[in-house]
Structure 1
Amino acid sequence: MPKATLSEPLARAKRAIKSPVTKIRIGARLSQTKFAALMGISVRTLQDWEQGRRSPSGAAKTLLRVAEKHPDVLREAVKNDRTIF
């Protein structure tokens, strides 16, 4: 049996998740805490988005689109900005 790569479990997890916000966060390989800090929102708000209780609007939607297309940019932002934590 071929050895699974790290990207295969990630791809399976992303297919199983229905929330687009969760898919974007997982694609960026960030925890809820780090992703929420980067977005400038509370973890509770992020959880509400991920569970469909609330929807992002305005600038948050734009940032989510950027995160979806360029998750590496978010990871770099977190890595280079120690003030987030």
Structure 2
Amino acid sequence: LAAESLRPDVILLDIGMPDLNGYDTCRLIREQPWGKELFIIAVSGYGQQEDKQKSQEAGFDEHLTKPVDIEALIQVLSRLP
């Protein structure tokens, strides 16, 4: 994973990716020692409560619906330490 070498503070991760979806990618990241404390935001075209619950279960910290509202993103990022 590119995140392992880059070690970002935050990842905006699309759910609907080819080959490996965002849920599985998030789970893989969370399994890594370097990924346990990483802040991961799900980005999806789906924003129902069920979709947000699936994101939470996969290990995402937040779930934003596309197109991402910049003010909502800023609000989420402002809560980071």
Greater RCO (Cα-Cα under 8 Å, separation 6 or more): 1
Name the one with the larger strand percent: 2
The TM-score normalised by the length of structure 1 is 0.25
State which structure, 1 or 2, has the greater radius of gyration over its C-alpha atoms.
1
